[in-house]
Amino acid sequence: MSTITKETKTTLMVLAFCALMLSNPPFVRAQGQLDDAGRVQDALQRTDEVIGTAKGVIEESRSQKGRLALEVAAQMQTKAWGSFRSLGYRLALKLTIEAREEAWHAIAFARLDARFEENHTRVVEETHERLTRLRDLMIETGVRDEQAMKLMEEARNLLEKSHLNSQQLRHQLALKLANNAQQLANRADERIRNSRALKETAERRLALLERLIERSHERLQEADRDQARVQLRLAEEQLEKGRELLTAGRYREAKQAFERCERALRNSARFMPSQTALDPQSQLQEAYRLLERAGELAAEKGTPADPKTLEIMEQARTMLRRAEDALAASRPEEALRLIAQAREALRVAARLEAGDMTRERLMLRIERIEALREETRNLAEKCPAPGIPELMERAQEHLRLAREHVEKGNLESAIAETAIARNLYQRISEVCAR
Protein backbone atom coordinates (compact mmCIF):
# COMPACT_ATOMS: atom_id res chain seq x y z
CA MET A 1 0.00 0.00 0.00
CA SER A 2 1.46 3.33 -1.11
CA THR A 3 2.13 6.12 1.34
CA ILE A 4 0.00 9.35 0.98
CA THR A 5 2.06 12.56 1.22
CA LYS A 6 1.14 15.60 3.25
CA GLU A 7 0.57 17.75 0.13
CA THR A 8 -1.78 15.17 -1.30
CA LYS A 9 -3.84 15.11 1.87
CA THR A 10 -4.21 18.94 1.75
CA THR A 11 -5.34 18.84 -1.84
CA LEU A 12 -7.90 16.16 -1.09
CA MET A 13 -9.32 18.20 1.81
CA VAL A 14 -9.76 21.29 -0.39
CA LEU A 15 -11.50 19.23 -3.04
CA ALA A 16 -13.78 17.70 -0.42
CA PHE A 17 -14.72 21.15 0.92
CA CYS A 18 -15.50 22.41 -2.58
CA ALA A 19 -17.64 19.39 -3.23
CA LEU A 20 -19.51 20.00 0.00
CA MET A 21 -20.14 23.65 -0.94
CA LEU A 22 -21.40 22.70 -4.37
CA SER A 23 -23.69 20.11 -2.92
CA ASN A 24 -25.09 22.58 -0.28
CA PRO A 25 -26.27 25.95 -1.93
CA PRO A 26 -28.19 27.21 1.16
CA PHE A 27 -24.91 27.52 2.97
CA VAL A 28 -23.55 29.82 0.23
CA ARG A 29 -26.66 32.00 0.30
CA ALA A 30 -26.52 32.32 4.05
CA GLN A 31 -22.94 33.53 3.89
CA GLY A 32 -23.91 36.15 1.26
CA GLN A 33 -26.84 37.33 3.31
CA LEU A 34 -24.57 37.86 6.30
CA ASP A 35 -22.32 40.09 4.19
CA ASP A 36 -25.34 42.10 2.87
CA ALA A 37 -26.74 42.52 6.36
CA GLY A 38 -23.49 44.02 7.64
CA ARG A 39 -23.20 46.45 4.74
CA VAL A 40 -26.84 47.62 5.01
CA GLN A 41 -26.63 47.96 8.77
CA ASP A 42 -23.59 50.23 8.41
CA ALA A 43 -25.54 52.35 5.93
CA LEU A 44 -28.52 52.57 8.30
CA GLN A 45 -26.34 53.65 11.19
CA ARG A 46 -24.65 56.31 9.05
CA THR A 47 -28.09 57.69 8.10
CA ASP A 48 -29.08 57.77 11.78
CA GLU A 49 -26.00 59.92 12.44
CA VAL A 50 -26.90 62.37 9.64
CA ILE A 51 -30.49 62.63 10.89
CA GLY A 52 -29.18 63.34 14.38
CA THR A 53 -27.00 66.14 13.03
CA ALA A 54 -29.96 67.55 11.09
CA LYS A 55 -32.07 67.64 14.24
CA GLY A 56 -29.45 69.74 16.03
CA VAL A 57 -29.11 72.20 13.13
CA ILE A 58 -32.87 72.59 12.69
CA GLU A 59 -33.53 73.13 16.40
CA GLU A 60 -31.20 76.17 16.26
CA SER A 61 -32.77 77.63 13.09
CA ARG A 62 -36.61 77.83 13.02
CA SER A 63 -36.62 76.60 9.42
CA GLN A 64 -40.05 75.26 8.42
CA LYS A 65 -38.71 73.73 5.21
CA GLY A 66 -35.96 72.05 7.14
CA ARG A 67 -38.43 70.55 9.62
CA LEU A 68 -40.61 69.15 6.85
CA ALA A 69 -37.62 67.63 5.06
CA LEU A 70 -36.40 66.11 8.34
CA GLU A 71 -39.81 64.53 8.97
CA VAL A 72 -39.72 62.92 5.52
CA ALA A 73 -36.19 61.63 6.19
CA ALA A 74 -37.20 60.17 9.55
CA GLN A 75 -40.21 58.37 8.02
CA MET A 76 -38.03 56.87 5.26
CA GLN A 77 -35.46 55.76 7.79
CA THR A 78 -38.13 54.03 9.90
CA LYS A 79 -39.26 52.10 6.81
CA ALA A 80 -35.65 51.25 6.00
CA TRP A 81 -35.11 49.71 9.44
CA GLY A 82 -38.36 47.77 9.05
CA SER A 83 -37.20 46.32 5.75
CA PHE A 84 -33.84 45.45 7.29
CA ARG A 85 -35.49 43.52 10.10
CA SER A 86 -37.61 41.68 7.51
CA LEU A 87 -34.39 40.74 5.67
CA GLY A 88 -35.29 43.04 2.73
CA TYR A 89 -31.76 44.33 2.51
CA ARG A 90 -31.95 45.77 -1.00
CA LEU A 91 -35.06 47.85 -0.22
CA ALA A 92 -33.61 48.86 3.15
CA LEU A 93 -30.45 50.12 1.47
CA LYS A 94 -32.43 52.11 -1.11
CA LEU A 95 -34.67 53.70 1.54
CA THR A 96 -31.84 54.64 3.89
CA ILE A 97 -29.86 56.30 1.08
CA GLU A 98 -32.94 58.36 0.15
CA ALA A 99 -33.52 59.21 3.81
CA ARG A 100 -29.91 60.36 4.15
CA GLU A 101 -30.22 62.64 1.10
CA GLU A 102 -33.43 64.13 2.51
CA ALA A 103 -31.66 64.75 5.83
CA TRP A 104 -28.89 66.60 4.01
CA HIS A 105 -31.57 68.66 2.25
CA ALA A 106 -33.06 69.48 5.65
CA ILE A 107 -29.66 70.73 6.87
CA ALA A 108 -29.23 72.84 3.73
CA PHE A 109 -32.70 74.37 4.15
CA ALA A 110 -32.03 75.17 7.79
CA ARG A 111 -28.67 76.81 7.11
CA LEU A 112 -30.06 78.80 4.19
CA ASP A 113 -32.99 80.07 6.26
CA ALA A 114 -30.59 80.89 9.08
CA ARG A 115 -28.56 83.05 6.70
CA PHE A 116 -31.74 84.75 5.46
CA GLU A 117 -32.79 85.39 9.05
CA GLU A 118 -29.37 86.75 9.99
CA ASN A 119 -29.27 89.08 6.96
CA HIS A 120 -32.85 90.14 7.64
CA THR A 121 -32.01 91.12 11.20
CA ARG A 122 -28.98 93.12 10.04
CA VAL A 123 -30.86 94.98 7.28
CA VAL A 124 -33.81 95.77 9.56
CA GLU A 125 -31.53 97.16 12.28
CA GLU A 126 -29.57 99.29 9.79
CA THR A 127 -32.75 100.63 8.18
CA HIS A 128 -34.39 101.45 11.52
CA GLU A 129 -31.23 103.26 12.60
CA ARG A 130 -31.10 105.25 9.35
CA LEU A 131 -34.78 106.25 9.54
CA THR A 132 -34.32 107.41 13.13
CA ARG A 133 -31.24 109.40 12.18
CA LEU A 134 -33.05 111.01 9.24
CA ARG A 135 -35.97 112.01 11.44
CA ASP A 136 -33.62 113.58 13.99
CA LEU A 137 -31.70 115.36 11.21
CA MET A 138 -34.89 116.87 9.78
CA ILE A 139 -35.92 118.10 13.23
CA GLU A 140 -32.45 119.46 13.98
CA THR A 141 -31.97 121.29 10.65
CA GLY A 142 -35.62 122.23 10.06
CA VAL A 143 -35.59 120.63 6.62
CA ARG A 144 -39.04 120.05 5.09
CA ASP A 145 -39.34 117.53 2.30
CA GLU A 146 -42.73 115.91 1.73
CA GLN A 147 -41.37 113.38 -0.76
CA ALA A 148 -38.70 112.26 1.71
CA MET A 149 -41.36 111.89 4.42
CA LYS A 150 -43.42 109.67 2.09
CA LEU A 151 -40.39 107.52 1.31
CA MET A 152 -39.65 107.13 5.03
CA GLU A 153 -43.26 106.18 5.77
CA GLU A 154 -43.24 103.59 2.97
CA ALA A 155 -40.00 102.19 4.36
CA ARG A 156 -41.54 101.82 7.83
CA ASN A 157 -44.59 100.03 6.38
CA LEU A 158 -42.33 97.59 4.52
CA LEU A 159 -40.36 96.93 7.72
CA GLU A 160 -43.61 96.05 9.52
CA LYS A 161 -44.58 93.62 6.73
CA SER A 162 -41.08 92.19 6.82
CA HIS A 163 -41.37 91.60 10.57
CA LEU A 164 -44.69 89.77 10.15
CA ASN A 165 -43.26 87.50 7.46
CA SER A 166 -40.24 86.78 9.63
CA GLN A 167 -42.53 85.74 12.51
CA GLN A 168 -44.33 83.39 10.09
CA LEU A 169 -40.92 81.90 9.16
CA ARG A 170 -41.01 83.24 5.59
CA HIS A 171 -37.43 84.45 5.86
CA GLN A 172 -36.71 84.89 2.16
CA LEU A 173 -39.72 87.16 1.61
CA ALA A 174 -38.98 89.00 4.85
CA LEU A 175 -35.44 89.76 3.65
CA LYS A 176 -36.71 90.99 0.28
CA LEU A 177 -39.13 93.39 1.97
CA ALA A 178 -36.40 94.61 4.32
CA ASN A 179 -34.06 95.26 1.37
CA ASN A 180 -36.80 97.26 -0.36
CA ALA A 181 -37.29 99.29 2.81
CA GLN A 182 -33.56 99.96 2.97
CA GLN A 183 -33.56 101.22 -0.63
CA LEU A 184 -36.41 103.62 0.17
CA ALA A 185 -34.50 104.86 3.24
CA ASN A 186 -31.43 105.45 1.06
CA ARG A 187 -33.50 107.49 -1.39
CA ALA A 188 -34.97 109.51 1.47
CA ASP A 189 -31.46 110.10 2.83
CA GLU A 190 -30.30 111.43 -0.54
CA ARG A 191 -33.32 113.73 -0.87
CA ILE A 192 -32.86 115.12 2.64
CA ARG A 193 -29.16 115.80 2.04
CA ASN A 194 -29.99 117.61 -1.20
CA SER A 195 -32.81 119.55 0.45
CA ARG A 196 -30.54 120.50 3.32
CA ALA A 197 -27.90 121.82 0.90
CA LEU A 198 -30.56 123.79 -1.00
CA LYS A 199 -31.99 125.14 2.24
CA GLU A 200 -28.61 126.33 3.49
CA THR A 201 -27.86 127.94 0.11
CA ALA A 202 -31.24 129.67 0.06
CA GLU A 203 -30.88 130.89 3.67
CA ARG A 204 -27.43 132.28 2.98
CA ARG A 205 -28.66 134.02 -0.15
CA LEU A 206 -31.67 135.40 1.72
CA ALA A 207 -29.45 137.02 4.36
CA LEU A 208 -27.23 138.50 1.69
CA LEU A 209 -30.14 139.85 -0.36
CA GLU A 210 -31.73 141.45 2.69
CA ARG A 211 -28.55 143.45 3.23
CA LEU A 212 -28.35 144.31 -0.45
CA ILE A 213 -31.92 145.63 -0.53
CA GLU A 214 -31.34 147.67 2.60
CA ARG A 215 -28.30 149.34 1.08
CA SER A 216 -30.11 149.81 -2.24
CA HIS A 217 -32.86 151.70 -0.41
CA GLU A 218 -30.23 154.00 1.07
CA ARG A 219 -28.77 154.75 -2.34
CA LEU A 220 -32.23 155.08 -3.89
CA GLN A 221 -33.05 157.94 -1.53
CA GLU A 222 -29.97 159.71 -2.84
CA ALA A 223 -30.66 158.92 -6.50
CA ASP A 224 -34.44 159.22 -6.57
CA ARG A 225 -34.66 157.34 -9.87
CA ASP A 226 -38.07 155.95 -10.84
CA GLN A 227 -36.64 153.11 -12.93
CA ALA A 228 -34.38 152.02 -10.09
CA ARG A 229 -37.36 152.16 -7.75
CA VAL A 230 -39.39 149.84 -10.03
CA GLN A 231 -36.58 147.29 -10.18
CA LEU A 232 -36.08 147.48 -6.44
CA ARG A 233 -39.78 146.84 -5.88
CA LEU A 234 -39.55 143.76 -8.11
CA ALA A 235 -36.53 142.60 -6.11
CA GLU A 236 -38.47 142.96 -2.84
CA GLU A 237 -41.39 141.00 -4.28
CA GLN A 238 -39.12 138.13 -5.31
CA LEU A 239 -37.37 138.25 -1.95
CA GLU A 240 -40.67 137.91 -0.10
CA LYS A 241 -41.77 135.13 -2.42
CA GLY A 242 -38.49 133.31 -1.85
CA ARG A 243 -38.87 133.71 1.91
CA GLU A 244 -42.35 132.12 1.77
CA LEU A 245 -41.11 129.26 -0.42
CA LEU A 246 -38.20 128.68 1.95
CA THR A 247 -40.58 128.44 4.91
CA ALA A 248 -42.77 126.00 2.95
CA GLY A 249 -39.79 123.72 2.29
CA ARG A 250 -39.73 124.42 -1.46
CA TYR A 251 -36.02 125.10 -1.47
CA ARG A 252 -35.29 124.84 -5.18
CA GLU A 253 -38.09 127.28 -6.03
CA ALA A 254 -36.90 129.59 -3.25
CA LYS A 255 -33.41 129.55 -4.72
CA GLN A 256 -34.83 130.50 -8.13
CA ALA A 257 -36.82 133.37 -6.59
CA PHE A 258 -33.66 134.68 -4.93
CA GLU A 259 -31.83 134.51 -8.26
CA ARG A 260 -34.59 136.65 -9.82
CA CYS A 261 -34.24 139.03 -6.90
CA GLU A 262 -30.51 139.34 -7.62
CA ARG A 263 -31.17 140.14 -11.28
CA ALA A 264 -33.67 142.84 -10.31
CA LEU A 265 -31.12 144.34 -7.91
CA ARG A 266 -28.47 144.37 -10.62
CA ASN A 267 -30.96 146.12 -12.92
CA SER A 268 -31.74 148.72 -10.26
CA ALA A 269 -28.04 149.39 -9.79
CA ARG A 270 -27.73 150.41 -13.45
CA PHE A 271 -30.05 153.38 -12.85
CA MET A 272 -28.18 154.62 -9.80
CA PRO A 273 -25.46 157.26 -10.01
CA SER A 274 -22.68 155.25 -8.43
CA GLN A 275 -22.11 151.54 -8.09
CA THR A 276 -19.09 151.75 -5.83
CA ALA A 277 -20.98 150.72 -2.72
CA LEU A 278 -22.76 147.86 -4.50
CA ASP A 279 -19.74 146.36 -6.25
CA PRO A 280 -18.49 144.29 -3.27
CA GLN A 281 -21.95 142.85 -2.75
CA SER A 282 -22.29 141.91 -6.42
CA GLN A 283 -18.89 140.28 -6.42
CA LEU A 284 -19.77 138.42 -3.26
CA GLN A 285 -22.87 137.02 -4.96
CA GLU A 286 -20.83 135.92 -7.97
CA ALA A 287 -18.30 134.26 -5.68
CA TYR A 288 -21.04 132.29 -3.93
CA ARG A 289 -22.34 131.14 -7.32
CA LEU A 290 -18.84 130.00 -8.23
CA LEU A 291 -18.71 128.06 -4.94
CA GLU A 292 -21.98 126.32 -5.82
CA ARG A 293 -20.70 125.46 -9.30
CA ALA A 294 -17.55 123.90 -7.84
CA GLY A 295 -19.76 121.78 -5.59
CA GLU A 296 -21.90 120.73 -8.56
CA LEU A 297 -18.82 119.62 -10.49
CA ALA A 298 -17.73 117.53 -7.52
CA ALA A 299 -21.18 115.92 -7.26
CA GLU A 300 -21.35 115.16 -11.00
CA LYS A 301 -18.33 112.88 -10.78
CA GLY A 302 -20.31 110.19 -8.98
CA THR A 303 -17.27 109.54 -6.77
CA PRO A 304 -16.02 111.29 -3.61
CA ALA A 305 -14.33 114.61 -4.33
CA ASP A 306 -10.57 114.91 -4.00
CA PRO A 307 -9.64 115.88 -0.40
CA LYS A 308 -7.50 118.72 -1.76
CA THR A 309 -10.51 120.11 -3.64
CA LEU A 310 -12.70 119.93 -0.55
CA GLU A 311 -10.03 121.71 1.47
CA ILE A 312 -9.80 124.53 -1.11
CA MET A 313 -13.59 124.91 -1.21
CA GLU A 314 -13.76 125.12 2.59
CA GLN A 315 -11.03 127.77 2.63
CA ALA A 316 -12.93 129.78 0.00
CA ARG A 317 -16.18 129.49 1.99
CA THR A 318 -14.37 130.80 5.10
CA MET A 319 -12.97 133.77 3.16
CA LEU A 320 -16.41 134.64 1.80
CA ARG A 321 -17.88 134.63 5.30
CA ARG A 322 -15.08 136.91 6.45
CA ALA A 323 -15.85 139.16 3.47
CA GLU A 324 -19.49 139.35 4.57
CA ASP A 325 -18.37 140.39 8.05
CA ALA A 326 -16.07 143.02 6.55
CA LEU A 327 -18.89 144.47 4.47
CA ALA A 328 -21.18 144.54 7.50
CA ALA A 329 -18.44 146.49 9.34
CA SER A 330 -18.11 148.96 6.41
CA ARG A 331 -14.65 147.73 5.35
CA PRO A 332 -15.23 147.32 1.57
CA GLU A 333 -11.50 147.23 0.65
CA GLU A 334 -10.87 144.25 2.96
CA ALA A 335 -14.02 142.56 1.63
CA LEU A 336 -12.91 142.98 -2.00
CA ARG A 337 -9.50 141.51 -1.21
CA LEU A 338 -11.03 138.45 0.51
CA ILE A 339 -13.55 137.98 -2.33
CA ALA A 340 -10.76 138.07 -4.93
CA GLN A 341 -8.77 135.46 -3.00
CA ALA A 342 -11.84 133.23 -2.63
CA ARG A 343 -12.71 133.48 -6.33
CA GLU A 344 -9.19 132.48 -7.35
CA ALA A 345 -9.26 129.51 -4.95
CA LEU A 346 -12.61 128.40 -6.35
CA ARG A 347 -11.30 128.58 -9.91
CA VAL A 348 -8.50 126.22 -8.88
CA ALA A 349 -11.02 123.86 -7.23
CA ALA A 350 -13.23 123.89 -10.33
CA ARG A 351 -10.28 123.04 -12.57
CA LEU A 352 -9.24 120.19 -10.28
CA GLU A 353 -12.73 118.67 -10.26
CA ALA A 354 -13.49 119.19 -13.95
CA GLY A 355 -10.53 117.19 -15.23
CA ASP A 356 -10.99 115.34 -18.54
CA MET A 357 -14.64 114.73 -19.36
CA THR A 358 -15.36 111.00 -19.74
CA ARG A 359 -18.27 109.07 -21.17
CA GLU A 360 -19.33 107.98 -17.67
CA ARG A 361 -19.32 111.55 -16.33
CA LEU A 362 -21.30 112.77 -19.32
CA MET A 363 -23.93 110.07 -18.81
CA LEU A 364 -24.18 111.06 -15.14
CA ARG A 365 -24.64 114.72 -16.19
CA ILE A 366 -27.40 113.72 -18.63
CA GLU A 367 -29.17 111.78 -15.88
CA ARG A 368 -29.05 114.85 -13.62
CA ILE A 369 -30.55 116.98 -16.39
CA GLU A 370 -33.27 114.36 -16.90
CA ALA A 371 -34.13 114.70 -13.21
CA LEU A 372 -34.28 118.49 -13.72
CA ARG A 373 -36.58 117.83 -16.69
CA GLU A 374 -39.07 115.96 -14.49
CA GLU A 375 -39.14 118.81 -11.98
CA THR A 376 -39.53 121.36 -14.79
CA ARG A 377 -42.34 119.36 -16.39
CA ASN A 378 -44.41 119.66 -13.21
CA LEU A 379 -44.08 123.45 -13.37
CA ALA A 380 -44.66 123.60 -17.15
CA GLU A 381 -47.96 121.69 -16.95
CA LYS A 382 -49.46 124.47 -14.82
CA CYS A 383 -47.66 127.35 -16.51
CA PRO A 384 -49.86 129.87 -18.42
CA ALA A 385 -46.91 131.53 -20.18
CA PRO A 386 -46.96 131.12 -23.99
CA GLY A 387 -44.33 129.03 -25.78
CA ILE A 388 -43.54 126.76 -22.82
CA PRO A 389 -44.49 123.47 -24.61
CA GLU A 390 -42.23 124.42 -27.53
CA LEU A 391 -39.35 125.13 -25.14
CA MET A 392 -39.88 121.76 -23.45
CA GLU A 393 -39.73 120.01 -26.84
CA ARG A 394 -36.56 121.87 -27.79
CA ALA A 395 -34.90 120.94 -24.51
CA GLN A 396 -35.92 117.30 -24.92
CA GLU A 397 -34.49 117.25 -28.45
CA HIS A 398 -31.14 118.63 -27.27
CA LEU A 399 -31.08 116.03 -24.50
CA ARG A 400 -31.76 113.28 -27.05
CA LEU A 401 -28.96 114.58 -29.26
CA ALA A 402 -26.62 114.60 -26.26
CA ARG A 403 -27.23 110.90 -25.66
CA GLU A 404 -26.77 110.18 -29.35
CA HIS A 405 -23.43 112.01 -29.44
CA VAL A 406 -22.23 110.13 -26.33
CA GLU A 407 -23.05 106.79 -27.98
CA LYS A 408 -21.09 107.83 -31.09
CA GLY A 409 -18.16 109.09 -29.01
CA ASN A 410 -18.62 112.79 -29.93
CA LEU A 411 -18.09 114.02 -26.38
CA GLU A 412 -17.55 117.70 -27.21
CA SER A 413 -20.86 117.84 -29.10
CA ALA A 414 -22.56 116.02 -26.24
CA ILE A 415 -21.24 118.57 -23.73
CA ALA A 416 -22.64 121.41 -25.81
CA GLU A 417 -26.06 119.75 -26.16
CA THR A 418 -26.32 119.07 -22.41
CA ALA A 419 -25.49 122.71 -21.66
CA ILE A 420 -28.23 123.91 -24.02
CA ALA A 421 -30.78 121.49 -22.56
CA ARG A 422 -29.97 122.50 -18.97
CA ASN A 423 -30.19 126.22 -19.82
CA LEU A 424 -33.59 125.69 -21.48
CA TYR A 425 -34.99 123.82 -18.47
CA GLN A 426 -33.68 126.50 -16.10
CA ARG A 427 -35.24 129.20 -18.28
CA ILE A 428 -38.60 127.39 -18.23
CA SER A 429 -38.41 127.09 -14.44
CA GLU A 430 -37.72 130.79 -14.07
CA VAL A 431 -40.60 131.78 -16.35
CA CYS A 432 -43.13 129.41 -14.79
CA ALA A 433 -42.18 130.19 -11.20
CA ARG A 434 -43.06 133.90 -11.58
Q: How confident is the model at residue 297, as a pLDDT?
A: 58
Q: pLDDT tens across 373-395, in order?
A: 877 887 787 777 777 888 888 88
Contact at 8 Å (CB) between 339 and 393? Answer: no
How many H helices and E strands in the chain?
14, 0
Q: How confident is the model at residue 9, as a pLDDT?
A: 57
| pLDDT higher than threshold 80 for residue 76 | yes
- 33 or 117: whose pLDDT is higher? 117
| pLDDT higher than threshold 50 for residue 278 | no
Q: pLDDT tens across 119-153, in order?
A: 778 888 888 888 888 888 888 888 888 888 899 99
How wide is the angle at C-alpha 188 spanned by C-alphas 186 and 192, nearest 5°?
Answer: 120
For the chain, the farthest-separated pair of C-alpha atoms sits apart, in whole angstroms, at: 163
The share of the chain scoring above pLDDT 90, in percent, equals 1
List, in order, residues 6 or more apart from 156 with CB less than 8 Å away: 131, 181
Cα-based distances in Å from 289 to 285, 317, 343, 427: 6, 11, 10, 17
Domain residue spans in the chain?
28-114, 116-189, 278-355, 358-434
Burial degree of 77 (CB within 10 A; 0-12, 13-18, 19+):
buried
